[in-house]
Amino acid sequence: MTLFGIELAHPWYLLAALAIVPVVLLARFAAGRVQFSSLAALPAGATWRTRLAPLPDALYGLAALALAVALAGPQRYDGQHPVKRRGIAIMMVVDHSGSMRALDLSDKDRELTRLDAVKRVFEQFVLGGGGLGGRPDDAVGLIAFARYADTLSPLTLDHANLATAARQVEIVTEQAEDGTAVGDGLAQAVERLRAAPQQSKVAIVLTDGVSNAGEVAPLAAASLAKDSGVKVYTVGAGTNGRAPIRVENAFGQSELVSMPVQIDEDTLEKIAEATGGAYFRATDLDGLRQVYRAIDKLERTEIDETQTAEPEQLYPWLVGLAMLAIAAAVTLRATALRRLP
């Protein structure tokens, strides 16, 4: 029901306006009336008090009417307006092999494994924080790989659950599951992105090693990505040469040792180049954030749509009017227009 540009969400509640009659009658015939044996006992002529005597009763009626209309849910629409939303499909492909235990991406005041650092920045990239704005309009998914690749979250706009899935990624501990299957992880990402409705499709592959496992060669996966219109950004995480890692010695005590590490930057560069993406290198936590800031500036697909503006709710004004009317009526009854007991 629309009247003068105002729509009532629950018009049947207007029937509550019938309460005006009993409200006014109760107020009018409440205690405080005095009977006279003869009209001659009354002052001659009308005074301002007698003229305004019905005012409190009318104010109670006004309050009842305002509350009835408030119950009907009056709201005003400003119309429709065009909105441009930008969204792309992004599959995050993250290495969680044993070498991700290295501590060279630690925070200044806290020890972090490479995987811990990656998970922290991943969450900031998706939800926002740490200088990153978040990707609220993008469908984002997550694949973790070591010797095998697993989809931990399909493409989704439910970024809270996606972040929860990312927090649960752990470094593999079984030797049989350890390895670096970059090609399998990327190929699985491409398969997920193929079905996405978004025009722009991106895979971000992060690893700290050399591909040494899996059924799909990294460059073969890159060719598959190119044919499927998927742009691949690759990230090499950690230092080359040696990196600190925390292990347990023969006495059950934790200690830091240096382990050899190597990143196959040449292959990562070729994957990115073949698909029109770019290769990035991060050797510390700050550098990792800078990498994701750069990726955050990816092209975004504009989607033109028209949205109806949120309606302005008018009931608070009516409730306020009712409260003022009741307050005024009570005040008048207690002061200038009081009745005799």
Q: Where are the beta strands (DSSP E) in the chain?
A: 2-3, 6-8, 74-76, 80-86, 89-95, 139-145, 149-156, 201-207, 230-237, 241-248, 254-261, 279-282, 302-308, 312-313
Please identify which residue in the block is written with the tokens 């003229």.
51
Complete DSSP assignment for 139-186: EEEEEEESSSEEEEEEEES-HHHHHHHHHT------GGG-S--HHHHH
CA dist 156 and 163 (Å) reads 11
Radius of gyration of the chain from its Cα atoms, rounded to whole angstroms: 35
- For 181, other C-beta atoms within 10 Å of its C-beta total 25
For every one of its 341 residues, what pLDDT tens digit does the chain have, with 9 covering 90 and above?
Answer: 555 667 777 777 778 777 777 767 776 665 555 555 555 555 555 666 666 667 777 888 888 888 888 888 888 766 665 656 667 899 999 999 998 999 888 888 888 899 999 999 999 999 998 888 888 889 999 999 999 999 999 999 999 999 999 999 999 989 999 999 999 999 999 999 998 888 889 999 999 989 999 999 999 999 999 999 999 999 999 887 788 887 777 676 777 788 888 889 999 999 999 999 999 998 888 888 888 888 887 766 555 555 556 677 888 888 888 898 888 878 877 777 666 55
For 84-304, which CATH class? alpha beta
Residue pair 203/193 in contact (Cβ under 8 Å)? The answer is: yes
Please identify which residue in the block is written with the tokens 């309606």.
311
Global pTM value: 0.64
pLDDT at 86: 66
Q: Residues of CATH 3.40.50.410 domain(s) within the chain?
A: 84-304
Contacts of residue 72, Cβ cutoff 8 Å, sequence gap at least 6 = 8, 9, 10, 11, 12, 13, 14
